[in-house]
Amino acid sequence: MHNRKAFTLIELLVVISIIALLIGILLPALGAARRTARQMQNSTQVRGIHSALVLFSQGNNTYYPGSTTKGQNKTAVVSGETDPMSVQFRFATLLNDNYFTAEYMVSPSETKATAVGGETGLTTTDNGVDTEVTYSYAMLRISPVQTDAREEWRDTSNSEAVMLCDRAKNNDGTLGDAWKSVHTNPATGTTEWRGSVGWNDNHVTFEATSTMAATQYYDTSNTSDELFPEVGVTDTDDDAVMVFEDNALAADGSNTYQ
């Protein structure tokens, strides 16, 4: 009798097959775990940005960036931005006051290189040096006709008012009537959005659709409230409209979807 010191070919093939099977089982689970981790980190960043809004409001008579202590448009220039209700102005105000770092404005599902395009970046000044930075999130649109939304752009602790969320990305290449998010990859021309949504009481949800079942801005309640404006839809006073660039509602989506 002698001691075996090596595997037979069959035994080796069995071991390799088992390892391959385990890898095939575990890889999808690991991919799902990574996606879940990114989504959780993304929601944490959205909550942190809203916390910065609240902290800012404590020294601004409850009003968020872009507003004076009396709730009027701020007349100032921040990082080259002159429209106080533009998303760039509001982010730049928080960034330059060191409420968070530039990296905090970029979703973990993106990189700085892909987070924004065109003129949607903003400039911050660090030690006298102007630096172009990017961001991933949309904010509540404030316009003269949206008095309810304007009244809500302050620390009201309203659990039914959306303040910011993952942006919508144009998914049809032309009119902006189909969109996706950084967390989805549907066929061109198909709308499929999901992402983190930050509410005004500082809770954050990860939604599977951009249509909220119920929202309330000031005294007006809404059902089936679409976060992103569609082509041909006129501006209204009482609903959630989230914009990513500037503060304009463009019919072709050029100031909304990137």
pLDDT (tens digit per residue) in 79-138: 666 778 888 889 888 988 899 988 888 898 886 655 444 334 554 444 444 456 678 899
Query: Is 3 part of a structural domain of the chain?
Result: no
pTM: predicted TM-score of the whole model, two decimal places: 0.79
| H-helix or E-strand spanning residue 198 | strand 195-199
Mean of per-residue pLDDT scores for the chain? 79
DSSP 229: P
Half-sphere exposure of 21 (CA within 13 A, CB side): 6
In a domain? residue 15: no
Domains contained in the chain, number? 1
pLDDT band at 250 (very low <50, low <70, confident <90, very high): very low
Q: Determine the structural domain holding residue 162 and report its residue range.
A: 39-243
Residue 26 is assigned to a structural domain of this protein: no
Separation between Cα atoms, residue 87 and residue 66, nearest integer Å: 9
Is residue 185 in a domain? yes
Across the chain, how many H-helices and E-strands are there? 4, 11
- Report the alpha-carbon distance of residue 61 to residue 89 in Å, rounded: 19
Is 230 domain-assigned? yes
DSSP 138: E
Judge whether 158 lies within some domain.
yes
Q: What share of the chain is helix, strand, coil (3-state, %, to 5)?
A: 30, 20, 50
Interval 203-215 mean pLDDT: 93
Would you say 143 and 235 are in contact if contact means Cβ atoms under 8 Å apart? yes
